[in-house]
Amino acid sequence: MSGKAAKQRRRQSRADVKAADRRKDRMTTIVAVLAFVAIVGGAIAYVSLKGGHGAASSSTSASVAPALPPAPTGGLPKQISANIAEQNQVIETPIHAKLASLRGVPIVVNQWASWCPNCKAEFPFFQRQSRRFERQVAFLGLDAQDQRAGAVSFLRTHPVVYPSVFDESAQQASSLGGGQGWPTTFFFDRTGKETFVHEGAYPTEELLEADVRRYALGA
Residue 59 pLDDT > 60: no
Name the architecture of domain 78-216.
3-Layer(aba) Sandwich (3.40)
pLDDT band at 184 (very low <50, low <70, confident <90, very high): very high
CB 162 within 8 A of CB 80: no
Cα(156)–Cα(43) distance, integer angstroms: 40
The percentage of the chain sitting over the pLDDT mark of 90, rounded to a whole number, equals 65
**Helix (H, G, I), strand (E, B), or coil: what is residue 90?**
strand
Given this model, what pLDDT does residue 12 score?
60
pLDDT tens per residue, range 151-174: 999 999 999 999 999 999 999 999
Residue 52 pLDDT > 70: no
**Helix (H, G, I), strand (E, B), or coil: what is residue 73?**
coil
pLDDT band at 101 (very low <50, low <70, confident <90, very high): very high
Cβ neighbors of 56 (< 8 A, separation 6 or more) are: none
How far, in Å, are 40, 184, 190 from residue 108 at the CA level? 63, 11, 11
CB atoms under 10 Å from CB of 215, counted, come to: 21
